[in-house]
Structure 1
């Protein structure tokens, strides 16, 4: 089961690296979150040096997955504001740069970096 989770996480990172456009204003570092796949496996998602000022729906926990992500960790050099719904809607919670994190009680689906 761990192999499947690792494979799913690696595949997610690969897709993000291919599909995320380069941005002149980007947060440097990594944003990490955990989630349950639609198949019922634990997985981790990553955003590597995400663009700033742009709402990002977290891959793997969009509207097609009834389970939101949890345990977000902000290891970028920018403030991250996480949201309970897609498209940066719903309740929000700020995570400070480099050390900001939350427990599995915080359920999230999107993020924006300032």
Structure 2
């Protein structure tokens, strides 16, 4: 009985160690516009999951019109650092209009 338990533990550890670092990334693109209307389309490719990402390329103004074309749920925030009371949850495939402003995002 102990041999089975030890084998199961060794197999679980080997599996955990063998998981590549990319397992913490979602697949797909998260797009948004930057700059004054009509804006420049930019985005994140295969963004990391579970960490807050401040949007690059937005300057002093928030990004807008996000499109979550990833395989993960995205939570977008008006404030940098994924902070503040103003946020919106976007399921995979969700697109929001020009009125939604964002400065940071975290993927599940």
Alignment TM-score, normalising by the size of structure 1: 0.70
Q: Which runs of 5+ in 2 are unaligned?
A: 1-20
Q: Matched residue of 1:60: which SS?
A: coil
CA RMSD of aligned residues (A): 1.9
1:27-79 deviation digits (Å, cap 9, x = unpaired): 10000000107xx9831221111010000000012xxx221100000000000
Alignment pair present for 1:94 and 2:93: no
Match of 2:54 in 1: 57
Match of 1:80 in 2: 74
Alignment pair present for 1:47 and 2:33: no
Alignment pair present for 1:110 and 2:107: no
Alignment TM-score, normalising by the size of structure 2: 0.74
Looking at structure 1, the residues matched to 53 and 89 of structure 2 have their Cα atoms a distance apart, in angstroms, of 15
Looking at structure 2, the residues matched to 23 and 85 of structure 1 have their Cα atoms a distance apart, in angstroms, of 27
Looking at structure 2, the residues matched to 89 and 104 of structure 1 have their Cα atoms a distance apart, in angstroms, of 21
Match of 2:30 in 1: 31
Aligned residues: 87
Q: Matched residue of 1:105: which SS?
A: coil
1:8-45 deviation digits (Å, cap 9, x = unpaired): xxxxxxxxxxxxxx6331110000000107xx983122
Q: Matched residue of 1:24: which SS?
A: helix
What's the offset of the Cα at 1:82?
A: 0.2
Q: Which runs of 4+ in 1 moved over 4 A?
A: none
Q: Which runs of 5+ in 1 are unaligned?
A: 1-21
